[in-house]
Amino acid sequence: MIIVHDIFICKPGNASKLAKKFKEAMAGSSELVHIMTDMTGQYNKVVMVSKYESLTAYEQSWEKYKQETEAMKKMNEAMAGYQDMYLTGSREIYQVW
């Protein structure tokens, strides 16, 4: 199993807004496990946690985001403006043993 953390460091006052935006846009996603905001450590952090059976499954999941389906159009609408809410981001991919 593969666990992916997409990490965003938000502009002050935007972490909870971005988390809400992710939660709404990703509703119904089978890969999404959690959306978390910081309680300790670096401020204004949002982490989106997803789970995949393999790296191949993770890579294949990106293909659906490239398609012009109605679901992807709705997701893009829900995510409009999210780039303005964060300063930087990163991704961590873990193998579960």
Tens digits of residue pLDDT in 50-92: 999 999 999 998 887 777 788 778 888 888 899 999 999 999 9
What is the CATH code of the structural domain delimited by 2-95?
3.30.70.100
Q: What is the domain partition of the chain in residue ranges?
A: 2-95
pLDDT at residue 59 in the model: 92
Helix axes 15-25, 70-78, angle to 10 degrees: 170
Mean pLDDT estimate for the chain = 91
pLDDT at residue 67 in the model: 75
pLDDT at residue 83 in the model: 92
Provide DSSP, the chain. Answer: -EEEEEEEEEPTT-HHHHHHHHHHHTTT-SSEEEEEE-SSSSTTEEEEEEEESSHHHHHHHHHHHHS--HHHHHHHHHTTTGGGGEEEEEEEEEE--
pLDDT at residue 74 in the model: 85
- Give per-residue pLDDT as tens, 30-50: 898 999 999 988 899 999 999
